[in-house]
Amino acid sequence: MDLHYALYHSKSLEPASATLHNDILQVSARNNARDHLTGFLHREADYFIQYIEGPKTRLYGALARIGRDTRHSNFEVIQNGPAEKRLLPDWTMGFVDPGLLNLSDLLDVSHGRLDIRTIDPFDLVIFLVSNAGALRSGAAAA
């Protein structure tokens, strides 16, 4: 398999709500299972941050579809490329809102001053994988 990954962020155009998040989670899980993609989405304040991995062609097709979604703006792929192995092999889509871990708290900044572009992409991936692990172990609610 030609395994690739991508890390992106965007700004939500809709207020946080269980209905919105459940819709995103259900559609993503269905599409990702079909396309053999795995990933984890985090929402914090107005930001969405996602790590997604899978076959190259399907991954980049999914990113194009995600980028066209009208529920967010400023879609930006922070980092992408080939991957040696999956970091989230058993997650068609994981999601925590606001998350067991909170970027603002970790960085000691207010939500209004959080700037995803200033965070090292590797640290964002570790953050998302840690949230997935915490959710898996039952320490957080989806």
Cα 109–140–108 angle (5° rounding)? 10
pLDDT band at 130 (very low <50, low <70, confident <90, very high): confident
pLDDT band at 100 (very low <50, low <70, confident <90, very high): low
pTM above 0.85, yes or no: no
Residue ranges per domain, the chain?
3-136
In the chain, % helix, strand, coil (3-state, to 5) comes to 40, 30, 30
Tokens representing 118 are 């200033």
Q: How much is the pLDDT for 88?
A: 87
Q: Could you say which architecture CATH assigns to the domain 3-136? A: 2-Layer Sandwich (3.30)
Peptide bond into 98 cis (omega under 30): yes
Residues 51-88 pLDDT 10s: 999 999 999 999 999 999 999 999 999 999 999 999 98
